[in-house]
Amino acid sequence: MISEAVILAAGMGRRLRGVLDDAPKGFLQVDGKALIVRSIEKLAACGIRRIIVVTGYRSDLYDGLQAAHPGLVTTVRNERFAATGSMFSLYCARERVSGDFLLLESDLLYEIRALKALQQTDLDNAILLSGFTCSGDEVFVETEKGLLKSLSKKRADLATVAGELVGISRVSLPLYQRMLVVAESMFARSMTIEYEECFRETARDFPVPCLKLDDLVWAEIDDAQHLRRVNDVILPLLAAKEQRDHPRPNAARGIRNLPS
């Protein structure tokens, strides 16, 4: 079982400034709890014992989480966050990563089943896919024999579409090391490379499997429209799944409490 995770949390969240004020996206409050706190709790519940959070904008807030969770959360800062993409943030974690890890984006709301599936798979590497969400701003994924072939935000760019990129992956140390080499080559052309692009380029000569959960409930929150969808659609779905998967004993059997 993997015991380490990396959360990419350096972004400024410009499209949510009216909601976030001056906080980063990981601190967006959904149903009274910050997204980053939700992920920390879920990761710990799935056996993760060390969480590396790559910070940038308002890194002091994430440093507060490190103080609140000593030994579990550690932070590393992408000093160039304003001029680089998410792959450079992942690159910044290279001296902290000690083995295989789960890779997550900081602006996700998801059911814990996503993490459990990646922990329980026999695959050394796995990019998690879902069915089609019609949420807007999707990243579509093309596979060949279960392996990553390409991805794009434009569905028409792909010959076939296997599913949508969730933003949670299982990454082995050999794959990460190969991604670092590929990233260095890509940085020579642009520093704004996203980690998804590096996955695609690395997959050209390094097999990267995809794992699909068709009915996974999840959402990425990039703007106010995404947040409205989360409040109106995703939270009720998550609550319903929680009730289904962990029902109250009496309610599950249709038994009423009898008066004493």
- So what's the pLDDT on residue 20? 74
Q: Is residue 255 part of a domain?
A: no
* CB-based burial, 119-144: b 16+ in 10 Å, e otherwise: beeeeebbbbbbeebebeebbbbbbe
Q: Which residues pair with 219 in a beta bridge?
A: 109
Q: Is residue 185 part of a domain?
A: yes
How confident is the model over 192-248, as pLDDT tens digits?
A: 999 999 999 999 999 999 999 999 999 999 888 999 999 999 999 999 987 887 776
* DSSP strand pairing (4-9 vs 50-55): parallel
Q: Is-contact 103 90, C-beta < 8 A? A: yes
Would the pTM of this model clear 0.85, i.e. be above it?
yes
- So what's the pLDDT on residue 256? 34
- So what's the pLDDT on residue 122? 97
Pull the structure tokens for residue 46: 């799935």
pLDDT band at 19 (very low <50, low <70, confident <90, very high): confident
- So what's the pLDDT on residue 251? 40
Residues 6+ apart with CB under 8 A from 144: none
Tell me the percentage of the chain whose pLDDT exceeds 90: 84
- So what's the pLDDT on residue 247? 73
CATH number of the domain bearing residue 153: 3.90.550.10
pLDDT score of 257 more than 50 = no
Q: Is residue 217 part of a domain?
A: yes
Q: Is residue 219 part of a domain?
A: yes
Tally the domains of the chain: 1
- So what's the pLDDT on residue 132? 95
- The closest of 110, 4, 107 to 57, measured between CA atoms, is 107
Residue 23 lies in domain: 4-245
Q: Is residue 258 part of a domain?
A: no
Q: Is residue 140 part of a domain?
A: yes
- So what's the pLDDT on residue 12? 80
How confident is the model over 111-135, as pLDDT tens digits?
A: 999 999 999 999 999 999 999 998 8
pLDDT score of 72 more than 70 = yes
pLDDT score of 255 more than 60 = no
